[in-house]
Chain A
Amino acid sequence: MEAIQLFFLKNALQMKNNIIHYCNIKNSEVYLDGKKLYSAKGEEQFSSFIKGVYKNFDLDYPKFYKMDPLCKLAITTSSILLEGIKDNIDPNMAIVLSNKSSCIDVDLKHQASISQGDESYASPANFVYTLPNIALGEISIKYKLRSENSFFIFDGFNPEFLIKYANSLTLLGKSNSVLCGWIEVVENEYNAFMFIVKQETGIAFTKENLIKLI
């Protein structure tokens, strides 16, 4: 092999994961790759806000209405993030999501429904959402992603872990790209930050950059 070919091969093999796209939903606004795409300043209620985002971006996915707040936030963020590359998504793209509060809103709803004494009736449509990884399932179903996915809980956004784990997935050949995220919602407080990492040009996948972007 010629020296120049060897050089490119070595470079390709050693290329690190970079952040190729990212989406933020917080403070009543939606950003894609740092550009503001939607604002509903003054909309304090999460449920109205996220419905507004769904309609504004024409997500056309009626299942949205059945979802709990965590899944609504996850499916909305991922839909906006993936829209631009939807014909070019790696079929084995792994999904790694995380948050602090699990799915507390629907947990409390379910808890309330079973605490009514003789009038207690658990709702299957509620109960099915009382696991944070359902958000992974909803994204997988929408984009037909038969891939690795896991949901982690930390007491705050943990960029070091996401970097270590996402890099391990591509390094070990489990996936070619990783959709990572911090999806946190408790009542009307919410913060969604999702990004895709891949061995392509992009923003360096470092703790400093993740902290800047969230």
Chain B
Amino acid sequence: MEELKKELKEKIIAALNLEDMSSGDINDTDMLFEEGLGLDSIDALELIIILDKDYGIKLTDSKDGRKIFQTIETMAQYIADHRTK
């Protein structure tokens, strides 16, 4: 799970162009949206693509994304439970 969390942080930094950030700057329980990292609706869609492309999970309702993408912790847990890649 630690490996997966680190991998996720690195993917997010790369995909969302979070310049000048490294995986050490993101805590597992930081809010990704609203406060914390301040990601927006396009970033949420980008995370959905990551789930599909890298972990084989298809999320058809972006509203489900809100719960799953709350923190790195919740994202990693969801991926661990549902990944097909």
Contact = CB atoms under 8 A, between A and B. Distances in A.
Q: Assess A/B contact in the complex (Cβ within 8 A).
A: yes
Nearest to A120: B53
Interface in B24-60: 42-43, 45-46, 49, 52-53
Interface stretch (A73-81, A104-112, A121-129): A121-129
B53 A125 contact: no
Interface in B1-42: 15-19, 42
A154 interface: no
A119 B53 CA distance: 8
B46 A65 contact: no
Contact of B16 (A119, A121, A122, A125): A125
B17 A65 contact: yes
A121 B56 CA distance: 12
Nearest to B38: A62
Contacts, number: 26
B52 A66 contact: no
Query: In which size bucket is the chain A interface?
Result: 10 to 19
Query: In which size bucket is the chain B interface?
Result: 10 to 19
B42 A65 contact: no
A123 B17 contact: no
B19 A124 contact: no
Given A62-B19, A66-B16, A124 B53 contact: no
A123 B45 CA distance: 8
Contact of B42 (A119, A121, A122, A125): A125
A125 B19 contact: no
Contacts of A121: 49, 52-53
A125 B18 contact: no
B17 A124 contact: no
Nearest to A125: B46
Interface string B51-76: 01100000000000000000000000
A53 to B, nearest CB: 14
Given A125-B43, A128-B42, A66 B17 contact: yes
Q: 5 shortest A-B CB distances, which residue pairs?
A: A124-B45, A65-B19, A65-B17, A121-B53, A66-B17
7 contacts: A62-B19, A65-B19, A122-B49, A123-B46, A124-B46, A125-B16, A125-B46
Interface of A: 62, 65-66, 119, 121-125, 128
Interface of B: 15-19, 42-43, 45-46, 49, 52-53
Given A65-B17, A122-B49, 6 more contacts: A121-B53, A124-B42, A124-B46, A125-B15, A125-B16, A125-B43
